[in-house]
Amino acid sequence: MHESWRWFGPNDPVSLGEIRQTGATDIVSALHDIPIGQVWPRDAIKAHKALIEESNIEGSMLHWTVTESIPVHDDIKLAAPGHQAYVDNWIASLENLAAEGVRTICYNFMPVIDWTRTDLRYRLPNGVYALRFDQGEFAAFDLFILKRKDAESDYTDQETKRARSTYEAMSPEGRTELTKTIIAGLPGKMTEAYSLDDFREALARYSGMSHAQLRANLAAFLGQVLPVAEALDVNLAIHPDDPPWDMFGIPRIVCTSDDLDALFEAQPSPCNGITLCVGTYGSRPDNDLPAMARRFRDRIHFAHLRGVSRGREEPRTFVEANHLDSDVDMVGVIKVLIENERALGKEIFIRPDHGHLMMGDQMRSTNPGYSAIGRMKGLAEIRGVVRAISELDRL
């Protein structure tokens, strides 16, 4: 297993020097400054790579091996007129990355918004802060702040009633903060930041879009990308929709095992792979993570290791838990990933996903979910599990 670490580039408060200290060997990164839909020029990729490798010394080498993510322009997801230019650009970026040796590419196909939370500083009893998604707050935003047309039909009467009380109990600052958290998006997102009006417009473009149509648009996109990926030995790794269910009345199509079956049926190429984001898939009680790790064995090129604790009454509400103490059987997942590697004779990239905000990191600014110490704790715990399983098997 290659231990990787996400680095947002020179503006990331967590420096390459700190990453080096965690013992990670591989860097997951992207050219975040390039506008969505534009080509990543080979020179810029080369320079980014050089920056990562510049202070390498024997015994401490970092390499950029995984791209997370090349954003997919919404026009591609909509198959809007003129979207072919964006597909061509996406393929050109892939070719330029491959030419520089970056051959694992994470991406997602979430309409309008990327990963979403409602609370970026949820205090746990031991004093750390975690990311949280609260379905009631989300509904309050959708119904009473965004006032989305026809939103009522997506909620039961009881949910609407609860959302109204949640909304009424929120201070004006709280409402503004929630709005910003949802529509401005989080670091690492692959969609635009919106104003409330732009957001309504972006959603409206999808009105009437069915799951089948969105799936067909993904398959058509991949139909053009995969032959190039095959020729260049590039592995694509689609990231699931986070949270993994429909939001704002528009379809999300990478949420479950069945969704993945449909994806591979539409495009069987071996380069059509996935990012097993354990935390995202694990946000649904009907996703059995060790079973998925086994089932999609030869499709998993990259894994995000983290887990959530789901609400007892409302399972769509979740808080990001300690890496080994969530609702997901993390040890079971890691065991399967190790078995997969042995069976296939190849190593995958894993990274600790999201960490709690803790200790000294509480005194500085870091990107939500992307603290240094919390992620290092996650990585250290995962590393321990990997080592223990690998050694025990040998005894």
Within residues 229-288, the interface with ligand DNO by CB under 6 A covers: 239, 277
Q: How far is the CB of 240 from ligand DNO (least distance, A)?
A: 8
Within residues 178-217, the interface with ligand DNO by CB under 6 A covers: 188-190
Q: What angle do CA 10, 303, 184 make, to 5 degrees?
A: 50
Active site residue 354: yes
Active site residue 370: yes
How far apart (Å, rounded) are the C-alpha atoms in residues 333 and 215?
27
Q: How far is the CB of 169 from ligand DNO (least distance, A)?
A: 29
Count of residues interacting with ligand DNO (CB under 6 A): 14
Q: Whose Cβ is closer to ligand DNO: residue 166's or residue 235's?
A: 235
Within residues 44-83, the interface with ligand DNO by CB under 6 A covers: 68-69
Q: Find the part of the chain contacting ligand DNO (CB under 6 A) among 47-55, 103-111, 177-185, 289-297.
A: 103-111
Instruction: Name the residue with tokens 């322009």.
Output: 73
- Give the tokens for residue 366: 């870091």
Q: Whose Cβ is closer to ligand DNO: residue 189's or residue 377's?
A: 189
Active site residue 239: yes
- Catalytic option among 277, 281, 356, 361: 277
| b/e per residue 39-51 (b: at least 16 CB within 10 A) | bbeeeebeebbeb
Q: Find the part of the chain contacting ligand DNO (CB under 6 A) among 42-50, 104-112, 215-223, 281-289.
A: 104-112
Active site residue 277: yes
Among 111, 251, 352, 369, binds ligand DNO (CB under 6 A): 369
How far apart (Å, rounded) are the C-alpha atoms in residues 106 and 302?
8
Helix (H) or strand (E) segment spanning residue 29: strand 26-29
How far apart (Å, rounded) are the C-alpha atoms in residues 290 and 395?
23
Within residues 318-357, the interface with ligand DNO by CB under 6 A covers: 354
| b/e per residue 54-63 (b: at least 16 CB within 10 A) | eeeeeeeebb
Task: Select from 88, 64, 46, 57 the least CA-distant residue to 2.
Answer: 64
Q: Whose Cβ is closer to ligand DNO: residue 75's or residue 241's?
A: 241
Q: Find the part of the chain contacting ligand DNO (CB under 6 A) among 101-109, 168-176, 322-330, 381-389.
A: 101-109
Q: Whose Cβ is closer to ligand DNO: residue 304's or residue 316's?
A: 304
- In contact, 277 and 96? CB cutoff 8 Å: no
Q: How far is the CB of 119 from ligand DNO (least distance, A)?
A: 15
Q: How far is the CB of 320 from ligand DNO (least distance, A)?
A: 10
Q: Coil, strand, or helix at residue 149? A: coil
Question: What does the H/E/C string look like for 71-110?
Answer: CCCHHHHHCCCCCHHHHHHHHHHHHHHHHCCCCEEEECCC
- Give the tokens for residue 270: 């071996």
- Give the tokens for residue 245: 């269910």
Establish if 114 lies at the interface with ligand DNO (CB under 6 A): yes
Site residues (vs ligand DNO, CB under 6 A): 68-69, 106-108, 114-115, 188-190, 239, 277, 354, 369
Active-site positions read 239, 277, 304, 353-354, 370
